[in-house]
Structure formats: C-alpha cells, structure tokens
Structure 1
Amino acid sequence: MNKVLKGLVAVVSTAAMAIAGFAGVSTAMAAETTHTVTITPAKSGHTYEAYQIFTGNLGTDGSLGNVVWGSGVDSAKLAASTDTLLKDKSAADVSTALATHADNSTQAKAYATAFSGVLSTTHTDSGAFSSAGNGSYTISGLEDGYYLIQDKAGTLSGQNDAYTSFILKIIGDDVTVAPKSTQPTVDKKVQDETADAEQGATDGWGDTADHDINESFKFKLDASIPAEANLADYKTYKVKFNDTMSKGVTFESIESVTVNGNDGTAAKSWPLTRTDYDATTPTPAGDGTQSWSLTIDDVIAKCAGIKIAQGFTVEVIYNAHLNENATVNDASGSTDNKNSVNLEYSNNPNAEGLGKTEDKTVYVFTFAITNKKVIDNEDGEPLAGAGFKLYKDEGCTQEYQLVKDATLNAYRPVKGGETAEEMKSSTNGTFPIKGLDAGTYYLKETTTPKGYTTAAVKTITIKATHTISGGLPNVVLSSDSTLDNKIVDKKGNTLPSTGGMGTTILYAAGAAIVLVAAFGIVFAVRRRNAR
C-alpha cells in the first residue's frame, strides 16, 4: 500500500531555547541527493543530532510516499515499544496518523516523544559553532526523509542554557531553522533604609547597602522565567536557589516565598508554605563562608493552575545580619561583606536536566569611628576613665546600645542576650566603635573623672555613597563625615582659701606662747631640784 506523508511539518517546542518556526524553507526540491540544515541564530555549546525517522519517495510538493522506517529508528526498540502510538504499527500507519495533526500540536509533540524512545545510534551531528552573524550550526549530508532533531544528551547539564525540544521536519532541500531562544535569569537585592540607599534603589532595594553589625535586614532573590509558548512542553519545572554568604553575614530566617504568574485568565500569585519547598541549613566552609539552598521541585505541581508558558517569577525574601567578622570601613573603599546567588532550573523538556545561571552578588558596608578623650585641647594628654554613651537623638534619650568586644578591641552594637554598657576611655584615652550604619549620632559624656569638666555632647556624622562600579563594590565617605573624634575635658582650677594672713599670724603666735611656757616649766623644775 502506498501511504503518503504529505506536507507534514511538526515542530515541537522548547523551554528555554526552542525551535518553533522555520524561515526560508523552499518547497522546490534541489537536484542534489543530500541536504543541509542550518540552525540560526544560535549559541555556542550545543551539539545537534538529526535522526531519520521515515524515508521514502519525496515528491516535489513535499509529499513522502512509500514510507518506511529510517536509519534513525532502532528496530529492536521499536518492536519492544509499549507506546500506543507505535506499538504494532508500521511506518506507513504511523505516518498516516501523524499527518492528520497540526503543526506544533499536542499530538505532534506526543509522536516526537514516542520517536525519542526508539532512536538508534545512527545520527548525523552538527558541525562546529560559527560565530559569524547571529551564530549558527549546520547539519550536512542528510538524505530525503522525515527527521527528528535534538540536542545531544548531557551537553548542557549545569550550563546556563537549555535543550531544544524535539524537532520534526521533512527534509528534501537545504533548509534554515530560525530558533527562538530564552533562558531564566536570577537577580539579588539587599534592602537599605530609603534615606541612605544607593541611587536608583526602589524602596531601598539595591545592589549595595549599609547596616549596623547585628542589625537585622533583608535579602531578596528573584528568578525570572520569561514567557515562551514552548515552556508548555515541560511536564515538571524545578527551580533551586544556591545562596552563599561571606563570613561577615549571618542567615536568620526565610520571610516569604512567592510565585507570581498567570493561571490562563489573569495574573496570580501563589504564596508558598514551608511544605512547598525545601530549604537547607547554612553550612560553613573552611574560609568561613556559609552556603544554603532553597528548592521548589515542581513549580507546576505547587502552583495549581499556573501556565508557565506565560512566564513566571519566584521571589524569596529572607532575613540576615552582619556579624563580628564583617569587614568594617573607616575610610572610603571596598568591602568583603558579600552575598551571592545562582539559580539552577529545568532545562530539558525531553528528559531530566538542570541549567545553571552565573552568580549575582550584592554587598553590605558597615563603618567604624575612632574616639579619644584628651585633656584641655585636642593635642592634650589622654584621659582614662571617662564614661560615654552613644545616642540616636540630639536630646540623648534614645541610647544606641553598645558592648565591649574584646576580639574587636572596640565597642559594637549589642546582639540578642547581651546587655549594653557604658563606654570607658582606656589608658591611652581611646574607645573606638565598630559596626555602625551610616547616619547621625550623638556622643555624650556620662561619667567625668574627678577634677575635670564634662565635655559638651558631640555630634558624629557618617555620610556614605555606595555602589558597584566596574563590577566591584565601592563606598565614598563625604568630607564632612566625622570618623576621628577628639573629646576634650578641661582640668578644674585650684581655688584660694578664705580668711587671709591674719589667721596664719595667730597660729604662729599661739605656737610661740606654747614654746615659752614649756621652757619656763623646765627651768623651774631644775631650780627646785638644785636646792
């Protein structure tokens, strides 16, 4: 029986690098017996394989007659297949049924999946990537027939790219395939107070921030999966955030996990509970960095009704703080207080597989001030034992709670379970403070050494402009920032006594009378003894 596969072009979609349409395909047959497929635009790192599914007589109108199984089908696998689309069916039967379905239909995709299960080891691979123009690959030497084209298994695992879905195409001439390509991205932000956030920050969210040591603040992770019709090929879709904190950052808790997408009729959000995702405990490495991950095994299953082909985002907000290991700035410059994230994501609609983005990093600054108690003037001798407290308000009613840290050899903001203490100037007069946010503070002398005059309240200013420049963090401290402070105590005066010289003369006269009387007594005693 002569079955005809006429005009069959079934293109099966992809998740993040899909081929969903073809440009420049001529219906006229060329004279040569082999043909070339050009895939463009394209990215480097791919190896495409072409498997001949059917072969036969190809007519000038694109019809394939006398259909038989091609070299890309393994007869043993075909005989053992339990797929109802192939089981106990001839190539002619399968091609006839397949020809009744529309391009890019669910049914055509099902046939592509069925064919992928019976592929032989005979295939033709793409040549080297060409960077010319928009980038391209070519698969040459293809005879007339109906082909399945796919990415070579294992070539994109762990890469920031995605496998193409199965492509079905009649080839009877040189053709050019114009693929659609998309891939997830990940972003990370750190929240600052809006008053001193970096320029361009939205509600304080930016790439840099400044905070106190032990002050809780937020990080935000955002995975963005762009809208792409071919995402519908994925039966499951996994996302995994991998977060790494420098030794100066401490993880506290996850505040929220939210998926934002569309249910086919309108935009919708799916807040996830703790049972919808898996979060690991931060694990310290030898260099002090800590890593943890948050995984949603299947966004489709966890978000009932979501249409991932319309695109979606995943937002994670968590709390953290700078700890005593944080790098502290006492001048303009960089910092090592960083936090990075990358995203692993489903990248193979045909099988298991995960792609991986590059890292996105944000930075957090904190600052130090030097204080010295001196006598009489700023160049005076140091004064030990003076007590001070730091306040947030000019009226000195809101104490900024600090504690002495022996490791830092400085005072720093307290953490949970610690009790604030009065700062004391040391034998060299100093009492440095480390781990302060940018802002205005008021330093008040609360204990004055005896014999000295209490100093006036001193205003301390830290003005910082932070950003990422050339890929590196940088902070500029303004010229009116007061990071090096001298607090002067004046020595008290010695006051004169009251009563004047008259009193002194009386004391002297009294002493003389006593002496004369003593001599008189001694003389009288001697005379009596002489008789």
Structure 2
Amino acid sequence: MRKPNKLVALIFAILASIAMLLPTSAYAANGTNNDNGSITINNAEPGHTYNAYQVLVLESYNTDKGVYSYKANTDWADWLAKQTQYVSIDEGYVTWVKGADVKAFAKAALAHATEAKIAAKATKTADSATVSFTGLNLGYYLVDTTVGTLCSLDTTTPDVVMEEKNDLPGINKEVKEDSTGEWGDKNTAEIGDTVEFKTTITAKAGAESYVLHDVMSKGLTLNAGSIKVQVGGSDLAAANYTVKTTGLTDGCTFEIVFHQSYLDTITSDTNIVVTYDAVVNEKAAVYPSANPNKTQLEYGNAAKPEDRFTPPSETETYTYKVDVVKTDGDNKVLDGAKFKLYDAENGGKEIPLVKVSDGVYRFAKDGEPAVGTITTVNGQLEIKGFDANTTYWLEETKAPEGYNKLAGRVEIAVKDANIDATVDGGIWHEGDGGVHIVNKTGNELPSTGGIGTAIFYALGGALVLGAIVFLSRKRVK
C-alpha cells in the first residue's frame, strides 16, 4: 500500500455522517454490509494518485425508518473518540454532532491519516480520464487526490460518481523592465545591473508538497538575501517555508519548500508571491541570445516525477553590444584612439569597463576593477553589456598621433538590437554599420619666424657679394 497523500481539499461534498439522519429509499429497506460499494472518478488527471480512506463502517441499516448503525474503522477508532466536536460515540456506535463543521472534520481526518500512516482502503494512479474503485466495504470514505478532491461514499447509494475538477496549482514568472517599471516575460539590462524577478504561485485548497524550483542561467547571479515570500501583501512567516540555496543536486539555483502545516491552512485559491533579484554578471549572453530564468512548482505525489511539476514559466533578460569604428577622413581605420564611456553628454557618470581582450571590453560589475580608458585596435572597439532604449556617450581622451582630438562626446543610442560593424580591408564603407567616428588632421604648419631665416641668409650673402664686386671695380679704376 502507498502511504496516504497529504493533499486534502476543503470541499467535502457530502460527509456520510449527515446521511445517517436522512431517510432514503435508494437501497433495500433492510440490509447489512455486502462489500458492493464503488467510487468512479471522471475527468481524472493522468499520472496523479487517488486514495480512498474508509473512516466509518456500516454495520446495518433500515432505509424505511432512516436508521443506520455505524462503527469506527479499527484504524480510526482512537482518533474518532477524541473528535467530540464532530461526532459522538455510544457503545461503539458513531453519530454526527448536529451543526459540526464537515469541512474541518474532513481536513482533520486526512491530516490524521498522514500522521498515523493509515493505509488507504484503495489506491490508484490514473492512466486515463477515469478512475474506478470497486468492491468497497460500505461506509463513509474520504477520497484524496493530488489535485485536491474529497468526497464521501453514501452507504445508501453505494455507487458514487465524482467529477474531478483538475484544480492544479498555477505558476507565473515575471521580470521588471527598469525603463518602464512594468512586469513582463522579457527585460533588458546592463551587465552589472540588478534585475528584479517575481514568481506568483496560485495555491489551491488542499495544497500538498509544494516546492518552488528556480533555475537561473550562468549570466545571472542570485542575491539570496533578497528572497521574500508574501501572501496578500504581507510577509509570510519564515516558519512556514524553507529556502535552500546550497546542497542542491537538480541544477536549481534555489528552492523554496513550503511546510505542510502551512499548506493545510489554505482553504481557497491563494496567491503566494515570491520576489528576489539577481545581478547580470560577466558571463551574460549578448543579444540575440537571452539570459533565461526558469521556475517550476513541484506538488503532490504523482507516481511519475514528471507528473509532479507544473509547466515551466520563464523570463528572458537581454543585454547588447556596440561596435565602434575609428577612421581618418578617407575612412581608413586608425589605431590608438582612447575613450571613456559616460551616461550623459556633459558631466554625468563614467561607466566603468573591463578589458576582455585587445579591443574588446565589457561593463564592469559593482566593485570590479575597471580600466581607465579603452583603446581602438585595428581601428575598432567592441563593448558588451549595454541596456536597450538607453543613450550613452563616448568621450575621446586621446586622438591617434597626428590627428585632432574630438571636441565633444559622441552619442551611442542603443535600441532593441546590437550596433554591429563589419570592416573589410581596413576601410570603413557606408553601410558597414557600427558607431563611426572620424578624426581629422591639419596641414604642416610653417616654422617659427614666419617665412623662415633662410631667405635672410641668402639676401645677406648677395649683398656681401655685391659689395666685394663694387670695391674691386673701384680699385681697378
């Protein structure tokens, strides 16, 4: 026999005890228990386990007079004797206390079945949309499923048909877009940014064995201290769940195990909201690849592990790269230009960058040592880690030798795509893409002294030569 499921529903369709007081002619006027009861469950959920527990045993009955003799099932006798708010027992015979809460009784009964490890009278795992229990000893039964259904088997109507609700728990994962503050299934961010996530679990009455599984990609680093669990806008007491971030062997980044004692208090659809954040790190994939974060809820006790999980809910975080091309006025690439990146056209905050390889840089994480400037190689720069729908500014701090440094910063406007460049043969052509930055050079300037001293030396020499000729001619005469 399988151990009884803990999952209970708070919908207790008809507790058999109520029928004790109601006359019916649906069965023979007189009789004893003949083990011919049946329960049929329609619309069953394949892969989920259904357990039928017999709490009371029908000894005899007379439907004409509306009288029935019930005794506690042996496994339940001691427990029932203490449930004076629900039942009374006289000489071993059980009757229902008028006005008692049948839902509370059902919940308490199945909690006892779990704690006392009471074996179910019948257990079946659905392999189709119909589950049937036949040959049941007549009495009152609670049926427990991993989707939270409870029922009673009325002894005067031994063949009971149930309609399974398929009330499975739900899960929805969202991420906040920092530029709008809106939650959705996608966002964009810089490397080094902290990204906020939210998972909403729609818990059902009779919740059983809930475990939240969260898997972050290698480009996201969980801030374990940020995990918060709330119900109705208020923090859920930490005693109701356990957060696991270490010792996990299933590839999860973290898990939250909800204690059954808390799940047993859920009487209707309840949203459990889990919020947490993560940093986009140096391993982040660059667009068009995404940095996913996947969440699933494990619940119940289905026979197959894959049947114990909700479909995954996933978010995608994107970051982008920009190619910068530095050329002269003829579009020939120039090496050696140095830049810094800022978040404003004037003033603003310098954005720290880390060198990945020659000519390739990325945004730095918080506290990570950054380079002072970035330098073009083969006339190009590749910078990774930009947020989308954001404007950045490049400031040239040193121009290539012989070229004029730019007077102002150059705008980089990142949309929902990379800014790619393709340079062939050291010449940038219109349409090659990227952020194209041109340095110009001037003509050679004249030497100090205006037109130079050479002309004065030449003129002086001519005057001296003329004087010598003049004096020579004078002596001849």
TM above 0.5:
yes
Counterpart for residue 311 of structure 2: 358
Residues 1:458 and 2:451 are matched in the alignment: no
Residues 1:487 and 2:437 are matched in the alignment: yes
* Cα deviations by residue, 1:443-497 (Å, 9 ceiling, x for unpaired): 2222123321224632222211xxxxxxxxxx7999xx99712211123212345
Q: Equivalent residues in 2 for 1:98-177 (5 A)?
A: 98=96, 104-107=102-105, 123=121, 129-131=127-129, 136-142=130-136, 145-151=138-144, 161-162=146-147, 164-165=149-150, 167-177=152-162
Of 155, 162, 184, the residue aligned with 1:206 is 184
Q: Which amino acid aligns with 1:488?
A: V
Aligned residues: 427
Of 444, 449, 458, the residue aligned with 2:395 is 444
Of 35, 40, 43, the residue aligned with 2:42 is 40
Q: How far has the Cα of 1:41 moved from its partner?
A: 3.5
Counterpart for residue 249 of structure 1: 220
* More moved, 410-419 vs 429-438: 410-419
Q: Which amino acid aligns with 1:54?
A: V
Q: How far has the Cα of 1:357 moved from its partner?
A: 3.1
* Cα deviations by residue, 1:157-198 (Å, 9 ceiling, x for unpaired): xxxx44544745325343322344533322221111244xxx
Q: Equivalent residues in 2 for 1:264-283 (5 A)?
A: 269-272=233-236, 277-281=241-245
Residues 1:84 and 2:81 are matched in the alignment: yes
* Cα deviations by residue, 1:328-351 (Å, 9 ceiling, x for unpaired): 12xxx342x111222345x48xxx
Q: How far has the Cα of 1:401 moved from its partner?
A: 1.5
Q: How far has the Cα of 1:213 moved from its partner?
A: 0.5
* Cα deviations by residue, 1:401-446 (Å, 9 ceiling, x for unpaired): 2323236962222223345444343341222100110112222222
Unaligned runs of 5+ in 1: 1-13, 196-202, 262-268, 349-353, 465-474, 514-531
Q: How far has the Cα of 1:250 moved from its partner?
A: 0.8
Q: Structure 1 residues 489, 407: CA separation in 2 closer, same or farther (over 3 Å shift)?
A: closer
In structure 2, how many angstroms separate the alpha carbons of the residues matched to 1:48 and 1:283? 32
Secondary structure of 2:197's aligned partner? strand
Counterpart for residue 351 of structure 1: none
* More moved, 203-212 vs 269-278: 269-278
In structure 2, how many angstroms separate the alpha carbons of the residues matched to 1:173 and 1:273? 45
Q: Structure 1 residues 430, 91: CA separation in 2 closer, same or farther (over 3 Å shift)?
A: same
In structure 2, how many angstroms separate the alpha carbons of the residues matched to 1:296 and 1:173? 38
Q: Which amino acid aligns with 1:339?
A: N
Counterpart for residue 57 of structure 2: 54
* Cα deviations by residue, 1:214-272 (Å, 9 ceiling, x for unpaired): 1122112222224x4xx4xx8xx7754322211111112433624324xxxxxxx4325
Secondary structure of 1:169's aligned partner? coil
Residues 1:188 and 2:160 are matched in the alignment: no
Secondary structure of 2:381's aligned partner? coil
Counterpart for residue 21 of structure 1: 13
In structure 2, how many angstroms separate the alpha carbons of the residues matched to 1:397 and 1:507? 58
Q: How far has the Cα of 1:78 moved from its partner?
A: 7.0
In structure 1, how many angstroms separate the alpha carbons of the residues matched to 2:342 and 2:124? 70
Q: Which amino acid aligns with 1:321?
A: V
Secondary structure of 2:366's aligned partner? coil
- Does the 8 Å CA contact 1:50/1:147 hold for their aligned counterparts? no
Q: Structure 1 residues 312, 483: CA separation in 2 closer, same or farther (over 3 Å shift)?
A: farther
Q: How far has the Cα of 1:277 moved from its partner?
A: 5.0
Of 266, 271, 280, the residue aligned with 1:308 is 266
Counterpart for residue 470 of structure 1: none
Q: Which amino acid aligns with 1:340?
A: K
- Does the 8 Å CA contact 1:258/1:316 hold for their aligned counterparts? yes
Q: Equivalent residues in 2 for 1:359-374 (5 A)?
A: 359-374=312-327
In structure 1, how many angstroms separate the alpha carbons of the residues matched to 2:105 and 2:458? 127
Counterpart for residue 163 of structure 2: 178
Q: Structure 1 residues 400, 170: CA separation in 2 closer, same or farther (over 3 Å shift)?
A: farther
Q: Structure 1 residues 361, 355: CA separation in 2 closer, same or farther (over 3 Å shift)?
A: same
- Does the 8 Å CA contact 1:30/1:172 hold for their aligned counterparts? no
Secondary structure of 1:490's aligned partner? coil
Secondary structure of 1:502's aligned partner? helix
Q: Structure 1 residues 67, 410: CA separation in 2 closer, same or farther (over 3 Å shift)?
A: same
Q: TM-score, normalised by structure 2?
A: 0.72
Q: How far has the Cα of 1:327 moved from its partner?
A: 0.7
In structure 2, how many angstroms separate the alpha carbons of the residues matched to 1:62 and 1:476? 83
Q: How far has the Cα of 1:98 moved from its partner?
A: 3.7
Q: Which amino acid aligns with 2:365?
A: K
In structure 1, how many angstroms separate the alpha carbons of the residues matched to 2:369 and 2:339? 15
Q: Which amino acid aligns with 1:42?
A: A
Secondary structure of 2:95's aligned partner? helix
Q: Which amino acid aligns with 1:150?
A: V
Q: How far has the Cα of 1:210 moved from its partner?
A: 0.7
- Does the 8 Å CA contact 1:212/1:413 hold for their aligned counterparts? yes
In structure 2, how many angstroms separate the alpha carbons of the residues matched to 1:96 and 1:44? 36
Q: How far has the Cα of 1:364 moved from its partner?
A: 0.6
Unaligned runs of 5+ in 2: 1-5, 302-306, 421-430, 467-477
Of 202, 212, 215, the residue aligned with 2:193 is 215
Secondary structure of 1:503's aligned partner? helix
- Does the 8 Å CA contact 2:244/2:255 hold for their aligned counterparts? yes
Q: How far has the Cα of 1:285 moved from its partner?
A: 8.1
Q: Percent identity?
A: 27
Q: How far has the Cα of 1:209 moved from its partner?
A: 0.7
Counterpart for residue 516 of structure 1: none
- Does the 8 Å CA contact 1:256/1:318 hold for their aligned counterparts? yes
- Does the 8 Å CA contact 2:9/2:149 hold for their aligned counterparts? yes
CA-based RMSD of the aligned residues comes to 4.7
Q: Which amino acid aligns with 2:253?
A: S
Counterpart for residue 523 of structure 1: none
Counterpart for residue 254 of structure 2: 292
Counterpart for residue 264 of structure 1: none
